[in-house]
Amino acid sequence: MPDIRISREGRAGRITLTRPQALNALTWAMCREVAAALTRWRDDAEVRLVLIDAEGDKAFCAGGDIQEMYDTGRHGDFDYGRRFWADEYRMNAMIAEYPKPVVALLQGYTMGGGVGLGCHAAHRVVCETSRIAMPEVAIGLVPDVGGTHLLARAPGRMGEYLGATAARMGPGDAIRAGFADLYIPREFWPALVRALETTGDLASLDAMAQDAPPPPLADHQAEIDRLFAGTPADIVAALEAEGGDFAREALAALRRASPLAVACGLANIRAVRGEGTVRAALTREYRFTWRAAEHGDFLEGIRALIIDKDKAPRWQHARLEDVGEHDVAAMLAGLGARELAL
């Protein structure tokens, strides 16, 4: 298909995203193609490892292609998005649990759906251009694609901070937060790819790895742990009382995001922290996304940021402090027979 190239090269199964003009955004069909390839290669003795990469310099994958979700949702068809998310989440679980090594090369923007595709791989490589984030709350979604599994394991309250503010991480912060493993400058990637294809041996990863740039967010770890430890209302109050550029920027990001999505995202991160599996994360995330278009802020977030681009979303709640526990419980309740099947 034109958006993705799947092949076997030497000892490697190759998955390459080929729509750089769209920042390699994932379509539903692309998710199904990835899952089908992983299924074929699972028992293929000729395939020693899987390599996931993307064309272009701007992005590995900047997220999911949500235009169709918006169009169908506006006309009352919520099943399209639910089926898309279910298949995408199953693909995320396959990558996270794959029995063979999966290597992902994450240049430029790796966000949302790109995190689900690349950051569950066993060997995640970043470079000088890498910018990784979970920005879903800006469009009325919770961090998903198994992202809460990663956020829950980040140091201290870093996961709450990253999930609630959609802050972007450079390569150093991505490694420290557990979204990446190795820093290899982009100029060495062609040689790395050739070595992986030829040998199927992971030794070239460590051989080419270099020291990552310093992680700027590490300087704010104590501040983050203190400010993002409480309830959503507590977090807002702490940021308002704190002062300083960092707290002001974090508060401004919270105020731009969907209050309902932020509150539910925080609840998911904390619940997953106690459960510890990617499957638990995906199951909890799906409960929200199943309801997102019909009962949440998703369609309004897409309208305001992507369709009309007025950046003036009319969220269901005016402020994060206005979201009640009953609102969160309603969006995160179990789905019964409709629970995600992994």
Active site residues: 64, 113, 136, 144
Type of residue found at 300: E
Give the 3-state secondary structure of residue 274: helix
Type of residue found at 41: W
CB 177 within 8 A of CB 169: yes
Query: Any residues with CB less than 8 A from the CB of 18 and at least 6 apart, and which?
Result: 2, 3, 4, 5, 24, 54, 55
Pairing outcome for strands 49-54 and 59-61: unpaired
Question: What does residue 73 show for φ and ψ, rounded to 5 degrees?
Answer: -65, -40
Copy the structure tokens of residue 182.
């190795």
Copy the structure tokens of residue 191.
């040689």
Query: Any residues with CB less than 8 A from the CB of 245 and at least 6 apart, and which?
Result: none
Q: Residue 223's closest CA among 156, 171, 268, 320?
A: 156
Copy the structure tokens of residue 98.
């794959």
CA distance 264 to 323: 9
